[in-house]
Amino acid sequence: MSNFNGLMMEANLIGGQWIKADSGTAIEVTNPATGDVLGTVPNAGGDETERAIAAASEAFKTFGRTSLSERVGLLHKLHDALMDNQEDLAQMLTAEQGKPIFEARGEIAIGAAYVKWFAEEIRRAKGEIIPAPGNDRRLMTTRHPVGVVGAITPWNFPSSMLARKLAPALAAGCTVVAKPATSTPYSGLVWGKLCQDVGYPDGVVNILTGSARGIGGAIMESPDVRKVTFTGSTEVGKTLIRQSADTVKKVSMELGGNAPFIVFDDADVDAAIEGAMIAKFRNMGQTCVCTNRFYVQAGIHDTFVAKLKEAVAALKLGNGAEDGVQQGPLIDDGAVAKVEEFIADAAAKGGDVVQGGKRHANGGSFFEPTVITGATQDMMFAKEEIFGPLAAVFKFEAEEDVIEMANDTEFGLAAYAYTRDIARAFRLNEGLDYGMVGINTGLITTVEAPFGGVKESGMGKEGGSQGLDDYMETKYFCVAGL
Ligand SMILES: NC(=O)C1=CN([C@@H]2O[C@H](COP(=O)(O)OP(=O)(O)OC[C@H]3O[C@@H](n4cnc5c(N)ncnc54)[C@H](OP(=O)(O)O)[C@@H]3O)[C@@H](O)[C@H]2O)C=CC1
Ligand SMILES: O=C(O)CCCC(=O)O
């Protein structure tokens, strides 16, 4: 069995030491495309996490005061280490997560790009001089790392989601206790190895696998952890927000979405199909910014559906490790069962399955990319995140109606629209209650821009110049007696 050129770490990193769980127990990690066991990771819990927090607190005393040049230098080395190992890291990511290898290569590259971005952006983390009301004093603000950061990450982007948290934390001078998702731990653990290889001091980066409640509970209870950053389900995010109250931690939450993708009659339909395929089927639909609802205006509806059906039927499904495959397996059988539930609900309420609709002949957690037309607001997917390869198409008549339908959800992460009318594009940006709006594109994620949602999709921004804010405190400094 491959260990991906020594990058597959089957231990946890605490205070610079790679350790097994105190209990001696381990969890098997499987390849969702083949069912093969890739290896094991420690089944750690609260005790190991308390030691990791203690190591991070100790390390913060010195790392929090390292010079800007040192922090920037380390980040550049980390970026290079990621890119030097891009192919092995991508192969390992596909093996544990299932996504096509070209997407995995892209995820490693964007993770490295976040590291480089924050190496550049930390140089501009300025304070300010504030005009004082009297001549006897001078007022200013200075910026400081928040301290120990707890980072909990999901399985859908196990490398780049850690990048978006680790890179700004390390840039700011914070130390980190991270918990990757149990189904995809290796893409998280390897960050610990690479950080060690490039020279981060012991205790700056600590990574634990195992019990979500044990590790999460210890992170949330500790008064020494000053900030928690989470990407995952809204349900778990709400629990963490509640738990953060006892020690008044800063929290940033990147939670579920329910993205509308609106196609107006005046759209370039081929461009809309190209954007739709990315916005819906990237990572087999398991992306928080994936389209959940296609709203297509009546005049273009039938043309759009015919072309969408054709594009979806042409998708090549298989083991993501094989070049040319565009759709891998879903993360597990539970994810497949959820998609089946959405389809059964829609069919019972009058929806038409015009493409796909069932488990793929490959077996396992492979599911046929699916298109349903005749979708209505009373169907489950109008309200709940699908997180799978199911395109639900609603028909609409008027702009005012579609904005209302698009906003009819407790989520507010990403929204997309295709139109050639520039005035309408501005109206949509103002009318859509979402943290991110993309016009004439199905892919908006980039390191330079702030990624994050409103409403129950979360709080805080990752990436962009705003991506540093949650990892730094602004201190007011007043010098009087002049
Ligand atoms: N916004 C997004 O990008 C994501 C959204 N989702 C949505 O959530 C659904 C369920 O996915 P799921 O994997 O269960 O997502 P979760 O929110 O359960 O998992 C995300 C991370 O949180 C951890 N976690 C789970 N429970 C706790 C807890 N009580 N305290 C601390 N950490 C915890 C998980 O650990 P462990 O893996 O050990 O359980 C994992 O590391 C998906 O179908 C999708 O709709 C899921 C992933 C990402
Ligand atoms: O699903 C997520 O939580 C992040 C998506 C990142 C991306 O758009 O590449």
| CB of 239 closer than 6 angstroms to any ligand 1 atom | yes
- Judge whether 33 and 225 are in contact, CB under 8 Å: no
pLDDT above 90: percentage of residues in the chain: 99
Could you tell me if 469 and 366 lie in one domain? no
Per the domain annotation, does 447 fall within a domain?
A: no
Q: What's 202's DSSP letter?
A: T
Q: Which ligand is nearest to the CA of 332?
A: 1
Could you tell me if 227 and 329 lie in one domain? no
Expressed as residue numbers, the domain containing 361 is 259-439
Report, as an integer, the average pLDDT of 402-416: 98
Asked if residue 83 has pLDDT above 70, the reply is yes
Per the domain annotation, does 202 fall within a domain?
A: yes
Could you tell me if 428 and 337 lie in one domain? yes
| CB of 387 closer than 6 angstroms to any ligand 1 atom | yes
Per the domain annotation, does 448 fall within a domain?
A: no
| CB of 254 closer than 6 angstroms to any ligand 1 atom | yes
Per the domain annotation, does 444 fall within a domain?
A: no
Q: What is the pLDDT of residues 87-121, one digit of tens each?
A: 999 999 999 999 999 999 999 999 999 999 999 99
Active site residue 254: yes
Q: Predicted ipTM?
A: 0.97
d(CA 289, CA 128): 35
Q: Which ligand is nearest to the CA of 238?
A: 1
Asked if residue 362 has pLDDT above 90, the reply is no
Rounded to the nearest whole angstrom, what is the distance from the C-alpha of residue 232 to the centroid of ligand 1?
A: 4
Tokens describing residue 371: 């298109």
Could you tell me if 388 and 464 lie in one domain? no
Which residue in this structure is represented by tokens 């997180």?
A: 387
Q: What is the number of domains present in the chain? A: 2
Could you tell me if 203 and 291 lie in one domain? no
Q: What is the pLDDT of residues 341-352, one digit of tens each?
A: 999 999 999 999
Per the domain annotation, does 241 fall within a domain?
A: yes
d(CA 176, CA 188): 13
| CB of 288 closer than 6 angstroms to any ligand 2 atom | yes
Could you tell me if 12 and 152 lie in one domain? yes
Could you tell me if 330 and 280 lie in one domain? yes
Ligand 2 atom, smallest distance to 231 CA? 3
Q: Which ligand is nearest to the CA of 290?
A: 2
- Amino acid 363: pLDDT: 83
Could you tell me if 236 and 280 lie in one domain? no
| CB of 457 closer than 6 angstroms to any ligand 2 atom | no
Asked if residue 1 has pLDDT above 80, the reply is no
Work out the mean pLDDT of the chain and round it to a whole number: 98
- Amino acid 482: pLDDT: 95
- Amino acid 224: pLDDT: 98
- Judge whether 189 and 159 are in contact, CB under 8 Å: no
Asked if residue 238 has pLDDT above 70, the reply is yes
Per the domain annotation, does 52 fall within a domain?
A: yes
d(CA 390, CA 379): 13
- Judge whether 83 and 113 are in contact, CB under 8 Å: no
Per the domain annotation, does 246 fall within a domain?
A: yes
d(CA 422, CA 275): 18
The confidence band for 361, taking pLDDT boundaries of 50, 70 and 90, is: confident
Asked if residue 290 has pLDDT above 80, the reply is yes
Per the domain annotation, does 294 fall within a domain?
A: yes
Report, as an integer, the average pLDDT of 195-214: 98
- Amino acid 2: pLDDT: 86
User: Amino acid letter at 469?
Assistant: D
Report, as an integer, the average pLDDT of 127-138: 98
Q: What is the pLDDT of residues 263-274, one digit of tens each?
A: 999 999 999 999
In this structure, the number of other CB atoms found within 10 A of the CB of residue 482 comes to 9
Ligand 2 atom, smallest distance to 288 CA? 1
Sign (positive/negative) of CA torsion 182, 22, 235, 221? negative
Q: Looking at 280-398, which runs of residues are DSSP E strands?
A: 291-297, 352-355, 370-373, 390-396
Rounded to the nearest whole angstrom, what is the distance from the C-alpha of residue 233 to the centroid of ligand 1?
A: 5
Q: Which of 10, 48, 121, 254 is catalytic?
A: 254
Map 428-457 to HEC letters: HHHHCCCCEEEECCCCCCCCCCCECCCHHH
Asked if residue 387 has pLDDT above 80, the reply is yes
Could you tell me if 243 and 268 lie in one domain? no
CATH number for the domain that contains residue 170:
3.40.605.10
Could you tell me if 465 and 391 lie in one domain? no
| CB of 154 closer than 6 angstroms to any ligand 1 atom | yes
Could you tell me if 134 and 211 lie in one domain? yes
Q: Which residues of 3-22 are buried (b: 16+ CB within 10 A; e: fewer)?
A: ebeebbbbbbbbbbebbbbe
Could you tell me if 247 and 278 lie in one domain? no
